[in-house]
Structure 1
Amino acid sequence: MSDTSIEAKRSIQLEMENSTAGPSRIQNSAADELSSPILKLNIDCFEELFEWLSLADLRSLRQTCKRMKQAVDYFIKINYPAVKFGFGRILIDTRILQYFGRLDPNKSKMIKRALVDAFDNPKDDIEMFKGIFPQLERLQIRIYDFRGDLHELILKWCSNLKYLFIIETVDDLMGGDNEWLNRQYPTIEHFTVDDNDVLLSGMAGTFPGLKTFFELNPKIQIFSTTMQLLRKNCNYFLGSNIKINQLNVHGDCSAENGMDEVCGILNQLYEQEFHKRLHLFIDYIDNQTDMDRITSVRGMEKLYLNRVHLGTEATITPTPDLRELCIEDDEYFENWQSMATNLVNIERIYFMQAKADVIASFMRYAPKLKEIKVQYLLGGTHFERGGVINLSGLNKERKRLAGACKVTIYVDENVFLSTKFAKAKIEFSLVILKRVQAVDWTPGFQ
């Protein structure tokens, strides 16, 4: 545990010992005082007890009194980063403009993310929200038929903006004479252009201003876009001196996208050091040829597969650069031993649903694997009656692999608690079990 975590724990312990019980939905102050002996427990004891409770139970427990809320909130913050309490995002929309003034001023100060959507009169409507723009770190813009200067109306006020996301309104905001593309934004680190609307119509546009925008804003280190937009605008990047750390690209393996051309562009960009690493998100794939093209792309560290419609003999060929694999459904893959052997450097794997046998294959053949997350476990050899994982068996499998890393397996809360109550022991020398909420891991395109 880090020094910061230790200090935070001490602070919470002192607050619990010294604070007076606050108002409660379940207990009044007198009843709270009668229950005070349990509140004298060390926070380490609470953490041990909390591990046996569901997150729903913990939410109820934090409502009993002020001191218990402090203990639960600390436990959730440290152990379950995927669980979010309180404000984090507000949807700015003409349909809720009338309610904006009712927000608690203290809570509005916590808003770091905003979606600007569907304004009738941008200049007048945006004026109402100008007060929160300086504190925003993430801004998503989706305004059809946008009228006005994006820089003057919004971006010039966003002095702490780190992530700018343009979605579905790309032609309005990126095409023509959009002056905001000729400006510097020293805090922006992540820029996304998702042309979903034109993607569906097969009419992705060309935007010369993109090249100028990147040249003026070298602090941008992550660029996320679609296959069609990349194909139509690759000439603005090929041969340029633009350098970023990470390129995220999503799309489907359709004839319109032309995977041979897309993969060729990606390899050219990597060779000229436009990006250091690639995250590729495939919405749909239905043939092994395209799969082989994808796995031949250099610098691809993350591969996300959504709808996979391949034969049962489908596989992922040797991909030494790949560090993270995300698969929504394992239905169309059967030869997991071959796949695990081919992914020699894989470190993280995400499955929306999978059998325990799939986990076992990677335990046996993927020495560098450190994390595997399964939202829905569907049974298998190491999945026992009552929703219990045979961790001891998986640990034995792992021990047989020379140089194997310890693996954290993230599972649904019901599986976690069933295994904990049945076996009590959830950590072995090379395997540890945790709830899916214990890691803030979002596999999709962003």
Structure 2
Amino acid sequence: MNFLRKKTRNVDSNRTKSVYDSLKNEMYSSAIFALNVKCLYKLFDWLTLKELNALAGTCKRFNIICGAYFLQNFSPSAVCIDDGIVVYRHRFRGTIFGYKLNAFSKYMEKITIPTGRLSQFRYVEFNCVESLIELCFVDVDLTDVKIKRIKHILGRIETVELIDCHVHVQFYDGFIKYCYKLKRLKLSNVELKYGNDWMLRNFSTLEHLQLIKCKNIKRSELEVLFEMNPNIWSFEIDADLLWENKMVILETGVKWNDLIVHVTHPRNTITISIYSLLNTFHTRGHFKRLHLRCGDMLSQPFIDRIRYLNALETLHVKGEPGCVLSRLYDLKELHTFSGNLNMDESAKNLLSLEKVVFWDTTIEDVVSIIRKSVKLKEIQIRTLKEKGRFSAHFNAKNYFQQGALNLIALNGERKQLSGADTVTIFVSEDIFLATKWTTDETSHGLIELKRIMLHDWNTLFLKL
């Protein structure tokens, strides 16, 4: 959802300027520093993130230059391990593997702390204090000892996210009250030892609130929360909790710009009733835009029900093989996980689509969406299959071969669509560099290629 990803900073202008100011005072005799920064950036385009981190660790001057390049080209976010930070790649038997990014610690704006060992808090305490504005805790026992380690940086934190955590302090008095600039609070399956007194407080800066699988929430607590915090313009909740507290919303008259609903079991009777309830909420003005996340694999009849939802702008869906999305006139963003949707037919029904996120797909799906979605501006691809089931008339090698994309062929498809916008395709680092080494370009006509913001996947991958 784009509205949740917008930054409250001007990295490119402010930070780049400060980098150049820092460089004025640095004198080095090495010949490579005779090159200007723009020339160095051109060289950096050919490096992997791992190589860039290694270069940033060689000297102070390169740390400053590489740090500025990192901020302009990557999301400054990482996962904290015992002795450093990494860009998350995969997890095996509780151990996290990824690119180590210790050289960029001071530039990180978001840090995810999994498991919550004290050593992780110590690393954040001493190495990630300059730029940090977002903290995410996954499977952490949050104690007073751990909070004290990071207490001095909480005053600048704008986003706090807890996933599968146990909080052993008063959530407000022992933690949240120190986050003076808190804008986004996200709680998913969190157990609060001392109850929900935090819901009886006013958060003057809070804009987004997420409550997913949160137990023991009383109706009276929600009523007070909504009454005291009319500044919350975005609310995220799971379908079960929403159904249990539907009267609170209807009776308090609370209003949001965006309502995000997580539907874990879209086939059950309650969920079908929730679709009707959501339309009632929209008719009465409780929200302007709806964002739906469906957890289970859906058959065609259940997918067809989605089209009756009012103001649906974002959809996360897993479809059974061959399923087609019906006409969704307001849909602007689609996340598809299984690669089973018939994108060739679905694309024709998504007239307002601007962004697609493929978690697992084939090049044929990518070409289909490029051919038929005139307003499409962005495609993100986590896993792109070179082999798979393709239509009899489709030759995958014309577009994707040996790990590299054929930008000329993709642009040829895009140009045939009258009035089509330029599409930026975000791909893995391997595909980006393979394409660059093969064609010596990362843009052609209406197609532009960029490295995916690897860090955007961090938190979700930790729970897969």
TM bracket (short chain): 0.7 to 0.9
Matched residue, 2:351 = 344
1:19-418 equivalences under 5 Å are 19-21=26-28, 33=29, 36-81=30-75, 84=78, 85-86=104-105, 88-89=110-111, 91=113, 96=118, 105=126, 107-108=128-129, 110-114=131-135, 117-118=140-141, 130-140=151-161, 149-169=170-190, 178-195=196-213, 207-256=219-268, 258-305=270-317, 307-308=318-319, 310-312=320-322, 314-330=323-339, 332-334=340-342, 336-379=343-386, 380-418=396-434
Q: Whole-Å Cα distance in 2 between the matches of residues 226 and 399 of structure 1?
A: 41
The structure with the greater share of residues assigned to strand is: 2
How far did 1:258 drift?
2.9
How far did 1:392 drift?
0.7
How far did 1:167 drift?
3.0
Matched residue, 2:437 = 421
Quick check: 2:141–2:168 contact (8 Å CA) kept in 1? no
How far did 1:242 drift?
0.9
Q: Whole-Å Cα distance in 1 between the matches of residues 334 and 368 of structure 2?
A: 14
Quick check: 2:11–2:72 contact (8 Å CA) kept in 1? no
Q: Whole-Å Cα distance in 1 between the matches of residues 403 and 247 of structure 2?
A: 53
Residues 219, 162 of structure 1: CA spacing in aligned structure 2 closer, same or farther, 3 A cutoff? Answer: same
Amino acid at match of 1:325: L
Residues 262, 442 of structure 1: CA spacing in aligned structure 2 closer, same or farther, 3 A cutoff? Answer: farther
Q: Whole-Å Cα distance in 1 between the matches of residues 368 and 56 of structure 2?
A: 40
SS of the residue corresponding to residue 237 of structure 1 reads helix
Deviations 1:184-225 (A, max 9, x none): 1111111111116x6xxxxx8653321221121011111111
How far did 1:267 drift?
1.0
Amino acid at match of 2:141: A
How far did 1:284 drift?
0.5
Quick check: 1:238–1:268 contact (8 Å CA) kept in 2? no
SS of the residue corresponding to residue 245 of structure 2 reads helix
Amino acid at match of 1:136: I
Deviations 1:25-65 (A, max 9, x none): xxxxxxxx4xx111111111111111112222211111222
Q: Whole-Å Cα distance in 2 between the matches of residues 416 and 99 of structure 1?
A: 32
Amino acid at match of 2:69: F
SS of the residue corresponding to residue 257 of structure 2 reads strand
Amino acid at match of 1:223: F
How far did 1:337 drift?
2.2
Residues 222, 65 of structure 1: CA spacing in aligned structure 2 closer, same or farther, 3 A cutoff? Answer: same
How far did 1:346 drift?
0.3
Residues 49, 109 of structure 1: CA spacing in aligned structure 2 closer, same or farther, 3 A cutoff? Answer: closer
- Larger radius of gyration between Structure 1 and Structure 2: 1
How far did 1:16 drift?
3.7
Q: Whole-Å Cα distance in 2 between the matches of residues 18 and 154 of structure 1?
A: 40
Residues 187, 366 of structure 1: CA spacing in aligned structure 2 closer, same or farther, 3 A cutoff? Answer: same
Q: What TM-score results when the alignment is normalised by the length of structure 1?
A: 0.81
Q: Whole-Å Cα distance in 2 between the matches of residues 443 and 404 of structure 1?
A: 33
Deviations 1:118-152 (A, max 9, x none): 357x6x87667654443332334579886775433
Q: Whole-Å Cα distance in 2 between the matches of residues 94 and 50 of structure 1?
A: 34
Q: Whole-Å Cα distance in 2 between the matches of residues 4 and 113 of structure 1?
A: 15
How far did 1:259 drift?
2.6
Unaligned runs of 5+ in 2: 1-9, 79-103, 387-395
Q: Whole-Å Cα distance in 2 between the matches of residues 69 and 126 of structure 1?
A: 30
How far did 1:393 drift?
1.1
Q: What TM-score results when the alignment is normalised by the length of structure 2?
A: 0.79
Q: Whole-Å Cα distance in 1 between the matches of residues 406 and 178 of structure 2?
A: 55
Quick check: 1:259–1:290 contact (8 Å CA) kept in 2? no
Deviations 1:268-322 (A, max 9, x none): 11111211111111111332222111232111111112x43x242x110000111
Amino acid at match of 2:381: V
Q: C-alpha root-mean-square deviation of aligned residues, in Å? A: 3.4
